[in-house]
Amino acid sequence: MRILMEAINYDKFKWQICGDLKVIALLLGLQQGFTKYCCFICEWDSRARSLRYSRKDWPARKSLEPGIMNVENQPLVELSKILLPSMHLKLGLTKNSVKARNQEEAAFTYLQEKFPRLSEAKLKEGIFVGPQIRDLMKDEYFDKLLQGDEKAVWDSFKFVVKGFWGNRRAQNYEYLR
C-alpha cells in the first residue's frame, strides 16, 4: 500500500480518502482480521459483548502508535483525511437496529416474512444489502408495526438517509451535517 501511495504522490496532494472500512484500517496501520480494538475512530472493545448495547460512549483514539490497541504499522494517511462511506454507515445502522430489536415482536417476524430467502442467522445478525434496506424504507406496513422508541429511531434513520445521504439531498442538508 505504501508503494501505491508513493506512486500517486499522496504526500504531495494530501487528498481525502473514502473507501471500504478494511482499506481504511489498512491505510491507518491497523491489524487486519478479527481484532479486539478494530475501530479506527475509538477504543471500542469488540470482545466486550456485555457492553454492546448498554455502553454508549467509547473513548476516542488519541493516537495511532504501532504496538498499541491493534496498531501494527505507521499510518499512511492522517485520520482527519478519512471520510466515512455512507453505504457502510447505512448498513451498520440497519444491522444494529435489527439486532437490538426483540425477536418476539411483530416487526421482527414481519422481516422474516418479507425476506423469506434471507437465512435466520443473517436476519438475527441484521445482515441486509442496499436493495433490501431501500425496500424496507418504502414499506408502510413495517412503519405501522414499530412503536415508541423503535419508531422514532427508524423515522430518524429514514430522514437522514433521504435528506442527507440520498441522491437528492434536502435543501437544508448542510444544516443536517
Write the pLDDT tens digit of every residue in 61-107: 888 989 899 999 999 999 888 887 777 777 777 887 787 777 888 88
Taking the CA of residue 108 as centre, how many other CA atoms within 13 Å lie in the half-sphere pointing to its CB?
17
Per residue in 21-64, pLDDT (tens digit) is 788 888 999 988 878 888 888 888 888 888 877 887 889 888 89
φ, ψ of residue 127 in degrees (nearest 5): -85, 105
3-state secondary structure of 159: helix
The Cα–Cα gap between 165 and 73 comes to: 33
Q: What is the pTM of this model?
A: 0.57
- DSSP notation for 15-73: --EE--HHHHHHHTTBPPSS-SS--SSB---TT-GGGTTT----PBP----TTSTTB-S
Per residue in 2-28, pLDDT (tens digit) is 898 899 999 899 888 888 778 888 899
What burial class does residue 107 get, using C-beta atoms within 10 Å of its C-beta: 0-12 exposed, 13-18 middle, 19+ buried? buried
